Structure formats: C-alpha cells, structure tokens
Amino acid sequence: MNLPAPFGLSLGMKLEDFSELKLAEIAPFKYRLDNPPKPHPAFEFYILQISPENGLSWIKAIGQDIPTNGFGTSINSAFLEMEGKLKKTYGNCDRTDLLLQGSIWNEPQDWMMGLVKGERLLASHWEVKTGAKLTEAIESVFLVASARETDCGYIAIEYALKNNSAASEEIASSQDDAL
C-alpha cells in the first residue's frame, strides 16, 4: 500500500524506507525528520510516528518561530494563511477559537498569554464528517496555533493517517507488555 501522504511521504512507510533520510528517535516510535522529500518553508521540522507493523501513521509539522505581540497578530495571520491553503486542498473544516471559561487572560492584549498558559485554543480540524475532501491516506488534519512565549509562537499541522488507530493499538500493546 503506497498511498501518498503529505511532504512526499507515504502511508505505512517502515523505518528502513527512511535510510536516505536522517531520522532521530525522540521517544518510543516517534522520530524527528528535518528534511522530508517535499518540505514546506513554513515548517522547521517534522515528527513522525512509525510502528514496526503499521509503519508511518502520523505526521506533525512544527512551524518556524513567528515573532508577535501580546495580541497574537502575527500568529493569527500565519494561522489564517495556512488554514486558507489547507482549505484549498481539503475543503471545509471546523475552527475552534476560544478562551476557557474563568481565564484571567481575557483582554485582547492577553491573547498570547492565554496560549502560553494553555487557556486559549485556536485550531482547525478537517475530517470527512466536517465535509473535508481527504485523500485515501489521510484520516484527519489538525492545524493549531501555539506559543513559546508571549512574544513568539508557531503553527503546527498534525496528519492522522488511515492506519493511525491500528498503529496506536500496536504501540499501546507493545508498551503494555512491560507491565
């Protein structure tokens, strides 16, 4: 099954398929890839989930640092720009833009602090049930805005591939063997 996935990768790629590319293991079954076959300039590096049986099942592209102000102006702009690009590819999405109830970071100039504290969420999600037109290899796409500090953030995209559930079960089972 050689179904194309984002960034020039393919659903189910095994570790040996990455021999030409430099992978660095950062956690069990998670690998950092700096230069995929088709990189995108908005992203600094990529995290891949690769299990022995199911192979590549999940991709997370981590964006370049974006300097911004407390209002999150540059982060919002980068998010909306990437969301527009993803809409051209995958169609309709569900967007969530919220501040958690009870957060003290409720003034416009506190937008980034809300992200830093994990009390604000700006994300878009594509699934077939949202009307998205996904490829044969992709189960869902998730775009999110994140903050490193109140003056610096980034965007990230997570792609769950069609074999992600099976791979997650495989990984959980292998980890549970240690119990």
Q: What is the pLDDT of residues 40-93, one digit of tens each?
A: 999 999 999 999 999 999 999 999 999 999 999 999 999 999 999 999 999 999
Instruction: Give residues with Cβ within 8 angstroms of 84, minimum separation 6.
Output: none
167 burial type by CB count under 10 A (0-12 exposed, 13-18 middle, 19+ buried): buried
The ranges assigned to domains in the chain are: 6-176
Residue 36 CA: distances (Å) to CA of 10, 19, 46, 138, 157: 11, 12, 8, 17, 15
Residues of the chain with pLDDT > 70, as a percent, come to: 98
Q: What is the pLDDT of residues 93-139, one digit of tens each?
A: 999 999 999 999 999 999 999 999 999 999 999 999 888 999 999 99
CATH class of 6-176: alpha beta
Backbone dihedral angles phi then psi of residue 44, each to the nearest 5 degrees: -85, -40
